[in-house]
Structure 1
Amino acid sequence: MTQIDDVDEKPRLGRKRDHTRDGEILDATLDVLAETGYDGMTIDMVAARAKAGKATVYRRWASKPELVLDAVACMKSKDVDLTAPPDTGTLRGDLIAMVKSPTIRESERKLKVMAGIVSMIARDPELAVAAREALVEPRAGANRIIFQRAIDRGEIPADSDIERLCTIGPSMVSYRVLMLQQPADREFMIDTIDRIILPAAGLRP
């Protein structure tokens, strides 16, 4: 009897997945989300924007929710190190140093992405956490550092409500970009700092 030698042979593996285009696909996902919202977005739209085949997207992400979750979780600021915000010696100087044109554009994009996934956030706690960590918390963390420095310098009162102060700027930008459909340009940001944020912190402009 001839012995069969390949009975224990391991099955041949399929073609190795190519992850080199993941960044382009995730970036395209964010663009489509910002334009159409989660409910209007399709995998076909993302594939077309990324100039990738639909099968390529599905080999990496089995569903639209998985793709969106990954895209949002990977969305980081590329223009400023939010873990080490500028230290100019004054609260006004620090806040203005954070106002940079590329950062403003990135913030507007994040707002539009956030608006695009609102309907899904309400249904998916995991996405809500990812959105908060990627879109909200980095900027809020930088603002906490800046306001805490001002307290440590004795520039603003020690009992200042840092969490509330941190929300003023983002709230103003959100309303302007999403509701008024106007850009939050540098002039608007600095005017908000001088006329609203600094007075709220107890400083005269």
Structure 2
Amino acid sequence: MSAAETPVTAPSRRSRITPEREAELHAAVLDLLRDVGYDALTMDAVAARTKSSKATLYRQWGSKPELVAKALRCTQPVSLGEIDTGSVRGDFTVMIEHSDDDQMAKDTALIRGLAHAVHESPALHKALRELLVDPEINGLQVMLQRAVDRGEIAPDCPALDFVPHLLIGAFIALPLIEDRSVDRSFLGDFIDAVVFPALGV
């Protein structure tokens, strides 16, 4: 863990800030991340950009990796586990409808830029897994389990465990293969052509 990531000693209770102020802070973090990259992003820079104190930032987020992970998390349009239309096709349709092409492009670029930092920083890797990746995977599993319970997907379908891999793989592979970011059109086509057939839907 680098000095920039090391949290200061803080009270266990975090200060309360308004949702609007939290969103403003997260947006500033993502702007800085795009401007300078993860390694050069410091809590001092975030404090200056947001007119906050470092003590406030550490009380609220604990560390630089946690701050970055939560800032990325706030860009997610909807929790997958909360989507329940009564059918798995309807659930995926709502997921796509809530996606934003511009935001997906920004997120893809940020994640690509963080790839090296993740390998260099176990703390960042842990924060991204706990605060960004795992909640999305858990929400997806809840959505798929409801489809199993409704009889839409066979409980022994071998593809059930690999749907997260398919979706994450699409976001990684498309920029590499076609030099473009995933958008709603591609995501819909990919789910229809790959995910649904794999699930037997």
Could you tell me which of 89, 114, 119 is aligned with 1:117?
A: 114
The answer on 1:143 being equivalent to 2:140 is yes
Distance 2:22 2:144 in 1: 37
Aligned position for 1:10: none
The answer on 1:70 being equivalent to 2:101 is no
The answer on 1:197 being equivalent to 2:195 is yes
TM-score by length of 2: 0.69
Aligned position for 2:28: 28
Cα distance 1:135–1:114, how it changes in 2: closer, same or farther (>3 A)? farther
Greater radius of gyration (CA): 1
Distance 1:47 1:177 in 2: 33
Could you tell me which of 153, 156, 162 is aligned with 1:156?
A: 153
State the 1:85 CA deviation: 1.6
Cα distance 1:169–1:78, how it changes in 2: closer, same or farther (>3 A)? closer
The answer on 1:81 being equivalent to 2:79 is yes
State the 1:99 CA deviation: 0.8
State the 1:100 CA deviation: 2.2
* 34-43 or 138-147: bigger deviation: 34-43
Count of aligned pairs: 180
Distance 2:35 2:155 in 1: 43
Q: Please state whether the residue corresponding to 1:151 is helix, strand or coil.
A: helix
Contact preservation (8 Å) 1:33, 1:117: no
Cα distance 1:58–1:113, how it changes in 2: closer, same or farther (>3 A)? same
Could you tell me which of 163, 170, 173 is aligned with 2:171?
A: 173
Point out where structure 1 has 5 or more consecutive residues left out of the alignment: 1-16
Contact preservation (8 Å) 1:47, 1:57: yes
Percent of counterpart pairs with the same letter? 27
* 17-26 or 188-197: bigger deviation: 17-26
Distance 1:57 1:187 in 2: 42
Distance 1:179 1:34 in 2: 23
Could you tell me which of 81, 94, 97 is aligned with 1:97?
A: 94
Cα deviation digits, residues 140-166 of structure 1 (max 9, x gap): 122212222222222222212422022
Letter of the aligned partner of 2:114 in structure 1? I
State the 1:59 CA deviation: 4.5
Distance 1:26 1:114 in 2: 15
Aligned position for 2:131: 134
Aligned position for 1:185: 183
TM-score by length of 1: 0.68
Cα deviation digits, residues 96-155 of structure 1 (max 9, x gap): 111125455544444433333333322333322210122212221222122222222222
State the 1:195 CA deviation: 0.6
State the 1:94 CA deviation: 1.5
Distance 1:95 1:82 in 2: 9
Distance 1:94 1:68 in 2: 31
Whichever structure has more helix as a proportion of its residues is 2
Point out where structure 2 has 5 or more consecutive residues left out of the alignment: 1-14
Q: Please state whether the residue corresponding to 2:82 is helix, strand or coil.
A: coil
Please provide the CA RMSD for this pair. Answer: 3.3
Letter of the aligned partner of 1:25 in structure 2? L
